[in-house]
């Protein structure tokens, strides 16, 4: 079985509306290009208790989870510390992270035409960004060398921590997918088939949907009613989704059932991924 994939987005700026979340749509796109799907998403503010609780649940789930945000070194960045608490381990300066952060500091000094001063207070503070839970593995950051990190559990699950900045986070997520999960790519092709229907109530569809899921346990049905669509008016989009090889038979049952109840059928849609 392919582990479920989740996304944890951390930061008060998202929940306050100062910044709009761009991660969910992009991660869905990155996964779909590899034949994978996002199973769950959570948003958490800069509350250490809630972050720790969310990470504890993520580690216990056995899922693959990407955590975006809060891995800097300012007082409102709590993710590294919360990850260590969730795992019951200490934070320690990761040797590879230290090398990369020092390289970044030297690059910055060179760009500014200044000497590199490793003991300068702001440079010492920057090393805090390399303090990861003991046992973590680094995630390279092609934008500015400041790495993220991955923590693996005893099972198939892991949490991969990247910055909140999309320009850094997205290529780092791609690196994680290629580095650790290439064997999962396109391993279980999925399909979704749906049809727009008119002239029936959603309650009339329940028995048909339940029958399809009983006969095809790996397929899920869905019903999306619209009451004020500017083009199609009141209608329901009903469909089936699941492993491609199971969807075709379920789809035929759905179409036959819709004919039986007298539903007027409109456009059909097929989505592969």
Collect all residues with Cβ–Cβ distance below 8 Å to 91 and sequence separation of at least 6: 80, 81, 84, 131, 132, 133, 134
Beta pairing, strands 131-133 & 220-229: unpaired
Residues 5-32 have a mean pLDDT of 96
**From the CB of residue 228, how many other CB atoms can be counted at a distance below 10 Å?**
7
For 216-231, the pLDDT digits (tens) are 999 999 999 999 889 8
Cα-Cα-Cα-Cα dihedral sign, residues 90, 93, 95, 100: positive
Q: In what side-by-side order are the strands of the sheet with 158-162? A: 40-44, 5-10, 64-68, 158-162, 148-152, 137-139
In the chain, CATH 3.40.980.10 covers 5-184
42: phi then psi, degrees, rounded to nearest 5: -135, 145
Which of 46, 4, 10, 39 has the alpha carbon at shortest distance from 148? 10
How many residues does the structure list for the chain? Answer: 273
Q: Which H or E run contains 272?
A: strand 264-272
For 90-128, the pLDDT digits (tens) are 999 999 999 999 999 999 999 999 999 999 999 999 999
% residues pLDDT > 70 (the chain)? 100
In the chain, CATH 3.30.70.260 covers 190-272
**Tokens describing residue 125:** 């503070």
pTM: 0.86
- Give the residues across from 10 on adjacent strands: 44
Question: Is it true that domain 190-272 has CATH number 3.40.50.970?
Answer: no
CATH homologous superfamily for the domain 5-184:
MoaB/Mog-like domain (3.40.980.10)
Query: Nearest 5°: CA angle at 206, between 205 and 208?
Result: 70
């Amino acid at each position: 079985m392919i582990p479920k994939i989740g996304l944890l987005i951390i930061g008060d700026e998202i929940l306050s509306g100062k910044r709009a979340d761009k991660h969910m749509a992009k991660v869905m796109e990155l996964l779909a290009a590899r034949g994978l799907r996002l199973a769950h998403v959570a948003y958490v503010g800069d509350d250490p208790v809630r972050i720790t609780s969310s990470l504890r649940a993520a580690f216990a789930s056995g899922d693959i989870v990407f955590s975006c945000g809060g891995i800097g070194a300012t007082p409102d960045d709590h993710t590294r510390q919360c990850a260590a608490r969730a795992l019951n381990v200490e934070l320690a300066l990761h040797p590879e992270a230290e090398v990369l952060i020092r390289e970044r500091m030297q690059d910055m000094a060179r760009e500014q035409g200044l000497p590199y001063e490793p003991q300068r207070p702001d440079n010492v503070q920057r090393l805090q960004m390399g303090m990861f839970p003991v046992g973590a593995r680094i995630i390279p950051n092609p934008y500015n060398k400041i790495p993220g990190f991955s923590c693996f559990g005893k099972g198939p699950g892991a949490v991969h921590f990247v910055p909140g900045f999309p320009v850094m986070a997205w290529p780092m997520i791609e690196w994680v997918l290629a580095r650790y999960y290439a064997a999962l790519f396109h391993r279980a092709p999925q399909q979704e088939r749906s049809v727009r229907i008119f002239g029936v109530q959603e309650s009339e569809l329940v028995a048909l949907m339940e029958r399809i899921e009983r006969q095809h346990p790996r397929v899920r049905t869905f019903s999306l009613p619209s009451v004020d669509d500017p083009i199609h008016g009141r209608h329901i989009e009903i469909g089936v989704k699941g492993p491609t090889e199971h969807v075709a038979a379920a789809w035929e049952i759905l179409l036959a059932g819709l004919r039986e109840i007298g539903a007027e059928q409109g456009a059909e849609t097929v989505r592969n991924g």
